[in-house]
Structure 1
Amino acid sequence: MSLDPLKRLLGLRPTPDPPGRGARPRARRPAPVPDFPPTVELPGLGAVPLAVSRNPRARRMILRLAKDGAGIRVTAPPSASPRMVTAFVVRHEAWIAERMTRAAPALAIRPGVVIPFRGTPLRLEHTPGLRGHRFEAGEGSAALLVGGEPEHFARRVRDVLKREARADLEAAVARHAPGTGMKPAAMSLKDTVSRWGSCTVDRRLAFSWRIVMAPPEVLDYLAAHEVAHFRHMDHGADFWALCRRLCPETPAARDWLKTRGHELHAIRFE
């Protein structure tokens, strides 16, 4: 019989094992520390939903847009602190704003919708008794009145924009072509997503008619850009020098297309 059972039989208390013998007491786990907040405050966007995952193999932080487009996801190495992640996200606010805008639901053309036109808001109205269309100016806004059957409203709006785009682009090309000493062979309008304009070696120009919704200086830059290809078919230093000479607003207008151009493609005319 072991000693402890004998002590119990005699009514004695068992002697506890000395340190280092028998079962060791379980160490207390520290209370969990809050890791990352569910949102991050960005100056231009407000509280943006944030999901952070740690990856033991990650050497740097990676930023992605959430699948629903309403928040962001960050993959971070184990050593990244909440403060480091927040600073990383804030540094990329412009990228986040652009991606979240792209992921926003498309704007379908219908009566009452406001779209940009030559850089200013334009309200679309259906006027059944009107033949054709009419622009009306108001205080701080303008309206486009379109007649015809309701089911053809979006197509009629698109046709109006295309006609206005052709007129603006033809005028812009006519202004800039003399600066190259050459004339365009032809000009056509398209609805391409990959590029806003193009120019062939035989000076045939093509433009996206959606450019008429951008500010006038952006349309002017696009026309100058393609006309500059009459002299330079590449995008070298000589090309950009000519482009800036034709259109001094080239840098700002180019940036506008890079950061805001996708908004024009989100407008649906089907």
Structure 2
Amino acid sequence: MAKSQSQTIDLPGNDVEFEVRNSSEATKARIDVDIHGVTVVVPDFAEIQPTEVLRENAAWVIEKQRGFEEYRENIPDRTFEAGETFPLLGTERELIIEPSQSHTITDTSIRLRKSTVEQSTVKQVLENTYRRKAREHFSERADLYAERMGIEYEKIEIRNQRTKWGSCSTTGTISLNWRLMMAPPDVVDYIVVHELAHLREPNHSSEFWSLVAEYDPEYEAHSDWLTEHSSRLIFSEEDL
């Protein structure tokens, strides 16, 4: 799909930058709005004016764009320096870099081994530490809830999906986003229960939500927390 250079259009008092993408798969024009900007997708060989499509949907475009602008404003401005705080299971912990034999985590700090950081970067070592803790914690919680729910799963995979917190394959693999380790424990448990429930109920049916509610009665509040605070779980600009 070929994409044009960025253009600008005035939509009721708002200068909106957009790009045009031609698609052989598209059957009708559509507008994609995400944190990276606005794109008008038009079918190949169709006589469609992207500006007209934007004007017809101006209110929706402006609303979506403002939502993403607010989202971006709430993303933590991380410098990855000693003394900065990072959340782990909902608790802010001070980042400390010190000569030591290994990385350690306490109730108030994340302590990284200085020699390891010097061979890499603070950001990379910190991410690796989160990923390692994620595998331990997610596996522990999945084992606990799988036994309670009478459900078997194949394995846990740690990923960094940009738009998903978790997913479940038909083969029983539960994939969970390591950045969930920055969320409160109850929110992590909700995602674990959610994905395990899919092994019994593939769709978001009433039976599925009843199963989730049985093991997480406050699942709606936990889901709302993720919707409201997901920007706080952005680790760096590379996650966008």
Instruction: Tell me the TM-score normalized by structure 2.
Output: 0.66
| Mapping for residues 159-238 of structure 1, pairs under 5 Å | 159-238=128-207
Partner of 1:260: 229
User: Residue deviations 1:5-31, cap 9 Å, x none?
Assistant: xxxxxxxxxxxxxxxxxxxxxxxxxxx
Pairing of 1:54-69 with structure 2 (within 5 A): none
Q: Letter of the 1:143 partner, please give it.
A: S
Match of 1:102 in 2: 72
2:85 to 108, 114, 124: 114
Query: Percent identity of the aligned residues?
Result: 24
Q: Partner of 2:121: helix, strand, or coil?
A: helix
- 1: distance between equivalents of 2:79 and 2:158? 21
Q: Does 1:250 align with 2:219?
A: yes
Is 1:133 the counterpart of 2:103? The answer is: yes
**Aligned counterpart, 1:143:** 109
Q: CA deviation at 1:266?
A: 4.4
| Aligned-partner residue type, residue 122 of structure 1 | R
User: What amino acid is aligned across from residue 236 of structure 1 in structure 2?
Assistant: S
Q: In 1, Cα distance between the equivalents of 2:235 and 2:121?
A: 20
3-state DSSP class of the match of 1:144?
strand
2:175 is paired with a residue of what secondary structure? strand
Partner amino acid, structure 2, of 1:100: E
The 2-side partners of 1:265 and 1:130 are apart by 28
Contact 1:180 1:231 in 2 (8 A): no
Question: Computing the radius of gyration over CA atoms, which structure comes out larger, 1 or 2?
Answer: 1
RMSD: 3.1
Cα distance in 2 for residues equivalent to 1:246 and 1:262 = 27
Task: Give, in angstroms, the shift of residue 177 of structure 1.
Answer: 1.2
Counterpart-to-counterpart distance in 2, 1:53 and 1:200: 46
Q: What runs of 5+ residues in structure 1 fail to find an aligned partner? A: 1-51, 55-66, 68-91
Amino acid at match of 2:111: L
Distance 1:266 1:146, change over 3 A: closer
Return the letter of the residue paired with 1:118: L
Give the deviation of 1:182 after TM superposition: 2.4
SS in 1 for 2:174: strand
Aligned length: 180
Residue type of the alignment partner of 2:89: R
In structure 1, the residue corresponding to 2:224 is in which secondary structure? helix
1:153 is displaced (CA, Å) by 2.2
- TM-superposed CA distance for 1:135, in Å, is 2.5
Tell whether the 8 Å contact from 1:116 to 1:213 is kept in structure 2 after alignment: yes
Q: Greater share of helix residues, 1 or 2?
A: 2
User: In 2 relative to 1, CA 136–205 (structure 1 residues): closer, same or farther, beyond 3 Å?
Assistant: closer
What amino acid is aligned across from residue 215 of structure 2 in structure 1?
A: L
Does the 8 A contact of 1:118 with 1:214 survive in 2?
yes
- Helix, strand or coil at the partner of 1:195: coil
TM-score by length of 1: 0.59
Shift of 1:101: 4.1
- Unaligned runs of at least 5 residues, structure 2: 1-11, 15-35, 37-62
